[in-house]
Amino acid sequence: MLIVQKYGGSSVADAERVLHVAKNIMKTKAAGNDVVVVLSAQGKTTDGLIAKAQEINPKASRREMDMLLVTGEQQSVALMAMAINSLGGRAISLNGAQVGIETTNAYSDARIRKIHAERIENELERGNIVLVTGFQGVNGHGDMTTLGRGGSDTSAVALAAALNADVCEIYTDVEGVYTADPRVVKDAQKLDEISYDEMLELASLGAKVLHCRSVEVAKKYNVKLLVLSSMVEAPGTEVKEGSNMERMLVSGIAADKNVARISLIGINDEPGKAFEVFELMAKEKVSVDIILQSTSRDGKQDISFTIGKQDLDIAKAALEKHKKRLTVSEVQYDEHVAKLSAVGAGMATNPGVASAFFEAMYDVGVNIQMISTSEIKITLLIAEEDVDTAMVAVHDKFKNKSVSMRKD
């Protein structure tokens, strides 16, 4: 078998954990498998590098930030190769450029275009364990790029797809995918399996177990994906196509505190204004999530939307610059908000889910600012300070409700 494994930063945070992971990798190799391993930067290394950049230049270009941040993963793979070789194994470390991971030109949030698998295949034929830097690649200019925070998951799944691997194992500091963050909800339950669509929604809505683009790639190429613990040996969670088993009505609750709300007050109520606003955000490469437009009053309307906090300064500058052209009377910003979401494939055909969700908010006195829905999710925007209490309340509301997904 060909197995691709990925280990997150907490799994390789120090020398003891590096050696523990090295032994696990060698155990997989000793079972007769070819092994490719993708590693994140150790512990808080990436945060430390960002802090160093802030000390020197708080407004450093994204290109230079990428040049800096890729060094974290290069440390990880080199140290892991040293650990495996010291234990009698054979390993080689490679960065994104050496592997031939081609990306788009967008610094800090690049997308993988193509992977040239020849180098990895040659190293596997030589009997080596191949260690690859996660989170990075090289663009058309020959510059190093990064795939965004959490991008090592995407690196691993993309490599598994390119190599036609038998399985992609994502090792984390938890034992799988849970119905909610177990650090917040004490009785959160581990799921044996979850569909690609449900996992994609949870990942995009703040669940930190998997990077959302990794799930997109897994679904597109039908990669067998397992989420496992790097700390203990235990069955994990398989991410797969939809199941016909009886399952919970809501598969998971996710929260995202990396959110800011922007409200544009008093825009002229005329065709094209919404287009102008969101075209501007698109040009600035600012991703927009929940959107709420008010009804017209006195020829004016308001538009509110959410973005990631990391994009707030860029959005502010663009909106203030074009405020007059957009006919905006006032721009309001709020960084103290969070998204709370319930996700489940059973929601589409079972009435009452929204009612129960809103009842949970009422029970704990949490005010709802914005609402967004799809067939398999409901997302609320609430005050950041309320999100943990709200998550527990929603989880309690749905934890014992199940629905049959079997088809007659």
Residues 41, 43, 44, 49: what is their CA dihedral angle, to the nearest 10 degrees? -30
* Region of poorest pLDDT, from 91-95, 262-266, 327-331, 348-352: 348-352
* Cβ(101)–Cβ(112) below 8 Å: yes
CA separation for the pair 376, 357 (Å, rounded): 13
- Compute the average pLDDT of residues 312-339: 94
Name 380's Cβ contacts closer than 8 Å, sequence gap at least 6: 339, 340, 341, 357, 361, 368, 369, 370, 371, 390
- Domains in the chain with CATH codes: 2-173 (3.40.1160.10)
* Cβ(152)–Cβ(40) below 8 Å: yes
Backbone phi and psi for residue 405, each to the nearest 5 degrees, phi listed first: -105, 10
Q: Average pLDDT over the chain, rounded to whole? A: 91
- Compute the average pLDDT of residues 380-397: 94
So what's the pLDDT on residue 240? 87
CA separation for the pair 304, 291 (Å, rounded): 6
- Compute the average pLDDT of residues 223-245: 82
pLDDT at 404 over 50: no
pLDDT at 209 over 90: no
Q: What is the pLDDT of residues 96-130, one digit of tens each?
A: 999 999 999 999 989 999 999 999 999 999 999 99
pLDDT at 245 over 50: no
So what's the pLDDT on residue 405? 35
Residue 25 CA, distance from chain mean position: 24
Q: In this structure, what token pair is assigned to residue 301?
A: 């309307």
Instruction: Give the model's confidence band at 90: pLDDT under 50 very low, under 70 low, under 90 confident, else very high.
Output: very high
Residues 111, 117, 118, 119: what is their CA dihedral angle, to the nearest 10 degrees? 80
So what's the pLDDT on residue 91? 98
pLDDT at 400 over 80: no
Helix, strand, coil abundance in the chain, percent, nearest 5:
40, 30, 35
Instruction: Give the model's confidence band at 150: pLDDT under 50 very low, under 70 low, under 90 confident, else very high.
Output: confident
pLDDT at 347 over 80: no
**Which DSSP category does 310 fall into?**
G
CA separation for the pair 80, 15 (Å, rounded): 9
So what's the pLDDT on residue 266? 92
More confident residue, 51 or 249: 51
C-alpha distances in Å from residue 78, one per residue of 22, 71, 92, 133, 144: 12, 11, 8, 9, 18
Backbone phi and psi for residue 265, each to the nearest 5 degrees, phi listed first: -100, 135
**Which DSSP category does 205 fall into?**
T
Work out whether strand 2-7 and strand 34-39 pair parallel, antiparallel, or are unpaired: parallel
So what's the pLDDT on residue 348? 66
So what's the pLDDT on residue 398? 86
pTM of this structure:
0.81
CA separation for the pair 40, 43 (Å, rounded): 9
Q: What is the pLDDT of residues 122-141, one digit of tens each?
A: 999 999 999 999 999 999 99
Instruction: Give the model's confidence band at 337: pLDDT under 50 very low, under 70 low, under 90 confident, else very high.
Output: very high
Name 216's Cβ contacts closer than 8 Å, sequence gap at least 6: 200
So what's the pLDDT on residue 100? 92
Name 332's Cβ contacts closer than 8 Å, sequence gap at least 6: 262, 263, 265
- Compute the average pLDDT of residues 299-317: 93
Angle at 240 between CA 235 and CA 245, to 5 degrees: 80
